[in-house]
Chain A
Amino acid sequence: MQQANRLRPFFENLAFDREDSQMIINFGPQHPSAHGQLRLILHLDGEQVVKANPDIGYLHRGMEKMAENMIYNEFLPTTDRMDYIASSSNNYGFALAVEKLLGIEEQVPRRAKIIRTMLLELNRIVSHEFWLATHALDVGAMSVFLYAFREREWALDLIEDYCGARLTHSAIRIGGVPLDLPDGWTGHLAGYLDKVERAVREDYEALLDENRIWKMRLENVGIIDQEMARSWGTSGIMLRGSGYHWDLRKEMPYEIYSELDFDIPVTDKCDSYGRYKLYMEEMRQSIKILRQLIPLYHQSEAKLMANVPQYISAPKEQIMTQNYSLMQHFVLVTQGMRPPVGEVYVATESPKGELGFYINSQGEPYPYRLKIRTPSFFHTGILQDLLPGHQLADVVTIIGSTNIVFGEVDR
């Protein structure tokens, strides 16, 4: 019985009653394994998926339009809410794009660069741990979920110590970082790295690597061959899992990645299991990077923000003592910075893949157009090519292995 206050179901011209033997299943948008608000329309022949149609837009919040009405510094906290599992990587992508637009990326102090790189790699560990937790939960390994979340909480404690927030950090600003690391932070970080290294080896990999169920569910499932990976525009681990040696940290080094010693793990297994191994290996590489950063941090000079007073407010002491600096600061606070006319596209390697920001500036304090190229969007698109031919039970594991986040897909 339809009640007046209830909304009528609306199925976008979908005919659920069909003449042939196919069955249509509506998967999502509220599904515990859909990693957010993914809606899939699956055509099934028996248990086999014949056609899959991802329907996105359930988390579309209009961020790109919001950016056009916000000054650059105002938009930065909004980028937190895109890939909310690794917020700092979004902050960084946006901050770097604006810095390139302003032409000040060389003036970011070295200590700020080191802290940024630390945050990026810590976020990579957090993101990969979260991926492992949810993916293992989808496949049915509840204990891995609990273990991975335990280590994730420790990393969030470190980030909270630094910036005060657990999830939405806004810890990387245009032109540097706002705060220095608290006392003893690097010691806690070193302790955490030991713990997480042991956890990867003794908990996750010991539980999963040779686990019969895990291998049966993941091996030869969700095979993305090289051609498919390239034609769908995948990036990050989805691309490296198909045998491409491509990581923006190596190809277009930003921050201080060119000074650091780390490897890019690549596999040509192309299946979900190969990608799982890559995630584990990437966590090890992140640990390796973070260990190298700790001594570099202590050697660096304590300077955190770039000194370009026409774009970024000068240090407080200078504002309070010099009249012109105070005026510049006043203009920056009330009107916002005015970058030169131009456009810029900057891509960074976020934990999910290539995260790019395109900014078109007309010399106003507001961007004329801001386009965000997010990896998850492309990895959602590949589902329509990847899922057909698989069993219904594999759909959940394949979605898990693509590591999509819907804040990023829909923006």
Chain B
Amino acid sequence: MAQHQVKFGTGLPVALTTVDKIVNWGRSNSLWVLTYGLACCGIEMMASGASRYDFDRFGTIFRASPRQAEVMVIAGTLTKKHAEFIRRLYDQMAEPKWVISMGSCANTGGMFNTYATVQGADRVIPVDLYLPGCAPRPETLQYAVMMLQKKIRREPANQNKNIPQKRFI
């Protein structure tokens, strides 16, 4: 987080950093996930929150309400009947927000190339990370969260994807 550390005398050192970095540091280490278990991957998502894989280590806590969550993990098959709800829940989430598409079904429709299935959740909402597998193991989801943390740390902190940026210069 800190870019420079200056030590004055015997007291605690002074850390110098940018606002971007400190805001992103806070954001990336407390990613609260919306419980969005749609199908099989939802079970693996629960397993990654449970005793062995212990998602709390990442500061990732599952929240039931979109208002309290900032990451949506689309875990499972998105059907056409459900597509409307995923868009509404995404719109209800507060900025900044990110989306992880978990598993083949959410990425591309996977093995279910049928009349009922949305062929990829990115047809409905923007997706930041795609993680492959059917169903991906909990480690994969943890790796995806780490990749998302990396991505967040690279982004400017005031970026708001859905609202046009105001230019000051």
Contact = CB atoms under 8 A, between A and B. Distances in A.
Q: Is the A/B pair a real complex? A: yes
Given A77-B111, A149-B50, A167 B40 contact: yes
Interface stretch (B1-9, B94-102, B112-120, B142-150): B112-120
A150 B50 CA distance: 8
Given A7-B87, A166-B137, A65 B43 contact: no
Given A59-B77, A61-B116, A62-B115, A168 B135 contact: yes
Contacts of A302: none
Interface residues of B, number: 37
B112 A61 contact: yes
Interface stretch (A78-86, A174-182, A271-279, A339-347): A78-86
Contacts of A31: 64
Contact of B88 (A9, A60, A65): A9
Contacts of A60: 79, 81, 116
Contact of A62 (B50, B85, B112): B112
Given A57-B81, A61-B79, A130-B43, A149 B51 contact: yes
Interface string B38-54: 11101110110011100
A145 B49 CA distance: 10
A207 interface: no
Interface in B105-141: 111-112, 114-117, 134-135, 137
Contacts of A406: 39
A6 B43 contact: no
A276 to B, nearest CB: 20
A61 B114 contact: yes
Contact of B84 (A10, A59, A61, A62): A10
B4 to A, nearest CB: 42
Contacts of A9: 84, 88
Contacts of B116: 60-62
Interface string B4-45: 000000000000000000000000000000011111101110
Interface size class of A (residues with CB under 8 A): 35 or more
A294 B70 CA distance: 48
A376 to B, nearest CB: 13
Interface in A30-65: 30-32, 36-37, 57-63, 65
B161 to A, nearest CB: 13
B140 to A, nearest CB: 11
B40 A84 contact: yes
A407 interface: yes
Nearest to A10: B84
A167 B135 contact: yes
5 contacts: A9-B88, A29-B85, A30-B36, A32-B35, A152-B47
Those 7 A-B pairs whose CB atoms lie nearest each other, nearest first: A62-B114, A149-B50, A84-B40, A32-B64, A146-B51, A61-B112, A150-B51
Interface of B: 35-40, 42-44, 46-47, 50-52, 62, 64, 76-77, 79, 81-82, 84-89, 91, 111-112, 114-117, 134-135, 137
